Amino acid sequence: MSLTPSSARVALVTGASRGIGAAVVIELACQGIVPVLAVRRPETARATASAVQALGIDPLVVACHVENADEARAAVAATLKRHGRLDILINNAGVVDPMGPVGAVDVNEWDRAIRINLTGPYLMVDAALSALRASPAGTVINVSTGAAHAPRTGWSAYCSSKAGLVMLTHCLALEWGPEGVAAFGLQPGMVDTDMQSAIRAAQVNEVSRVPRQQLGKPERAARLIAWLANQRPMDLNGQDLSIRDAELVKRAGIDA
């Protein structure tokens, strides 16, 4: 099977080399959506790209630091050059560092977190918006967190940047929903990823003490994200959704 722009939607996924991002890329491909992998270092995406190739899709891997406007535009341009369209943008790239009390973390690192977690998604949307508006199914999915809604000790940069990302989702739906662009936030819960390993090592708050065996699998979160991308439930447009919402999970059928 070789999917072409005429037969399949195209999704650009940031932070696609591992964890939730890699799982999303594979799940999208399983559902017939052609993924483009935006990663800081293309060599880190080889395993994920190979998994997509095994499904009969030739994936495009693009180098992209999301906080760099030129690289964001270049990633979108490369997608359009290869596929002629862009239907879905999934802003997954993010960092939890720096971790520590307010006033005790490096201000430059704090600013870097804001640029990656909040400015980066804005730059990606800004670069992709024309293509998304031209698509019959333009969709933005911002990977959120419960920490956007409840402060956590030692996570001022993460909580603040992700709270801003939630508001960006609201604004996107308000401004571009009437033109057919859907925007969703998705809180994937505590997932067994490298980020969670760093959180456990830091021991800055109660999340650090959650046993690894209690963490969710990236694939489960990926199924819900892919469902949002595929189904575009417009009654949920603009909402910051949670994988802990039993009704949502049932509706998506991700545990069936």
- Active site residue ranges: 158
154's CB contacts (< 8 A; 6+ apart) are 99, 100, 101, 202, 204, 205
CB of 5 within 8 A of CB of 85? yes
Backbone phi, then psi, for 13, in 5-degree steps? -120, 120
The pair of three-digit structure tokens given for residue 78, joined into one six-digit string = 């490369």
Length of the chain: 256
DSSP H/E element including 192: none
- Torsion, CA 36, CA 236, CA 138, CA 193, rounded to 10: -10
Closest CA to 82 of 1, 8, 182: 8
Sheet arrangement for strand 139-143: 60-63, 34-39, 10-14, 88-91, 139-143, 182-187, 240-242
Please state, in angstroms and as integers, the Cα–Cα distance from residue 21 to each residue in 40, 61, 135, 207, 222, following that order: 13, 13, 23, 21, 8
Distance CA 69, CA 75 (A): 10
Q: Which residues pair with 142 in a beta bridge?
A: 91, 185
